[in-house]
Structure 1
Amino acid sequence: MKKYFLLAMLFCGFCRMACAQDDHQNHTALSAGPEISFPSRSQFNFGYGGSLKFETPVAQNVGLSLTGAYTEMIYKGVAFAGGTKPSPAGFVPLKAGVVYYAGGARLEGEVGSVLEQQEINGVKQNLFTFSLGPSFLIPLADSKQQFINVGLRYESWSKNTLRMIGIRVAYHLNFKSQD
């Protein structure tokens, strides 16, 4: 619980750094970066990977997003059949979402599918996913096109098969202005 409190405090600090800038709204953008996940009540200890996100505005303060990612989940250090810990489990989350811009902060909700890359417990399946959380754009120097996108999200896969807190730090590039 202490680590989640610390993460929340760090996230609030990023919020304060990003609050002054509103200029990033109403731009089509592409972002890419690493992610780390902290599952709760799961056979996995943590996860890591990367994601690519496309975002385009559709109304004042509202945008749509498409996200593709790859995530590896690391099993907890418990004894498995044969006494060896299995290799990390690979997943490909594919999601679509809505982004609401609120000053320097953003709130995003996404839904989609997670494709398992290998069998887990003798089954390989596609999982439904949803996620919700805030993010912030921190400008790089005096740029109105280049940012660091720092995001925190709650994510759930298929009726609580896996619940986690995710952190994403990505390079964010605005490349089209909507006037």
Structure 2
Amino acid sequence: MKKLLLALLFCYALTAKAQTATPTAAFSIGPELGIPTMSIYKVGFSLLGKVEIPVSDPLSLSITGGYSSFGFKRTLIGSNISQEAAKFAPVKAGVRYFASSGFYIEGELGVAIGLNYEKDKLFAYSIGPGFLIPVGEKQNVDLGFRYEKWRNQLTQTGIRVAYRIGW
């Protein structure tokens, strides 16, 4: 998965122009696929909303919140009985840097709040590239990839596809 992300980033870098995009205030919402690495969890699904607030020409601040669910691998539980999925509410704030028109790099810090088993607040951080694909005057499809870690409980590759509306 890491090789795929690097290949996508490299291909886009070859075609990118040396101009920067002016960030606009925006809201996006969409599903996310979380692919855990060496974890007790199977592939997880999330629904995340994000607000972006521009602070300078290439920079925006972002606030992300949502709902995530990860099933457990049966072989690690040691039983054929399926267990209820672990549910989390991730809340993060970050910075989005627009490197060129339609391409950005984003980093976030925050917490993932456990909702059903251990109701812990897990420190979370993420970093990764993304692409804005125009579908209207102030509308885009936001395709983002990122590496994310929630304390020592979950390390994942996240793939997010969201509908983004600027104002």
Range of TM-score over shorter length: 0.7 to 0.9
Structure 1: state its 5+ residue gaps.
Answer: none
Alignment of 1:50-129 (within 5 A): 50-78=47-75, 80=77, 83-104=80-101, 105-119=103-117, 123-129=118-124
Q: Which residue of 1 aligns with 2:160?
A: 168
Measured at CA, do residues 34 and 43 of structure 1 come closer, stay the same or move farther in structure 2, by a change above 3 Å? same
User: What amino acid does structure 1 have at the position aligned with 2:113?
Assistant: L
Q: Which residue of 2 aligns with 1:130?
A: 125
**Cα shift at 1:85:** 2.0
Measured at CA, do residues 109 and 79 of structure 1 come closer, stay the same or move farther in structure 2, by a change above 3 Å? closer
Q: Distance in 2 between matches of 1:54 and 1:12?
A: 27
Q: Distance in 2 between matches of 1:25 and 1:41?
A: 39
TM-score by length of 1: 0.82
Q: Distance in 2 between matches of 1:41 and 1:62?
A: 34
**Cα shift at 1:74:** 1.5
3-state secondary structure, aligned to 1:5: helix
Q: Distance in 1 between matches of 2:20 and 2:36?
A: 34
User: What amino acid does structure 2 have at the position aligned with 1:57?
Assistant: P
Aligned length: 166
- Range 72-81 or range 82-91, more displaced: 72-81
Alignment of 1:22-33 (within 5 A): 25-33=22-30
CA contact (8 A) 2:133 2:141 kept: yes
3-state secondary structure, aligned to 2:27: strand
**Cα shift at 1:111:** 0.5
Identity of aligned residues (%): 35
Give RMSD over aligned pairs.
Answer: 2.4
